[in-house]
Amino acid sequence: MRKPRFKLLVLALASFSFLHLARAEGFDSGFSVDALSNGKDAALRVCDGLSMSSSKRECVALVGESRYFDTDALPLCSSFSMNSRVVECMQVIRDRRYTAQEVRTCSSESFDSDKVECMGRLGEEYAPPAGGTLRSELERVLRYMDSGDLTSARRNLIRVIDTLDAP
């Protein structure tokens, strides 16, 4: 029982160190509690905001079938006024990760359909770390931090946390 608690403690310390370093370097990580999860709670809040019960049911089912929602991409989906477009966007972004720049790029598109299409082209498939020890995964995060690639460091740290959080 002690080993999982130790891993969580190490991750908490690494997360704190990362955030402290990032803020000291002037990096706006946009880090939130939702960013440390699989994003499904935040996705359900988007579904809850839908006005049509059929769209809400479809959205909730979609979230249930998914492994991950990027909390940086969810605000784009929730910005659409049409329920069907929100659900379409959720379908496109599910199980994908996006950088803040990718979300900004797609948000700048003129039409909602173009924004959703853009999100489908950008981002990368969500994949929790396969294999490797906790130590090797945290060392990878530290290498990214040392090289100044804080976006990749954040992404990999979240993957490590997702792995520990998985059933």
- Give the tens place of pLDDT for each residue, 38-69: 788 899 999 999 999 999 999 999 998 988 89
Q: Determine the Cα angle at 37 with ends 35 and 41, to 5°.
A: 100
- Give the tens place of pLDDT for each residue, 73-132: 999 999 999 999 999 999 999 999 888 899 999 999 999 999 999 999 999 888 765 555
Q: Which of 9, 64, 12, 3 is nearest to 36 (CA)?
A: 12
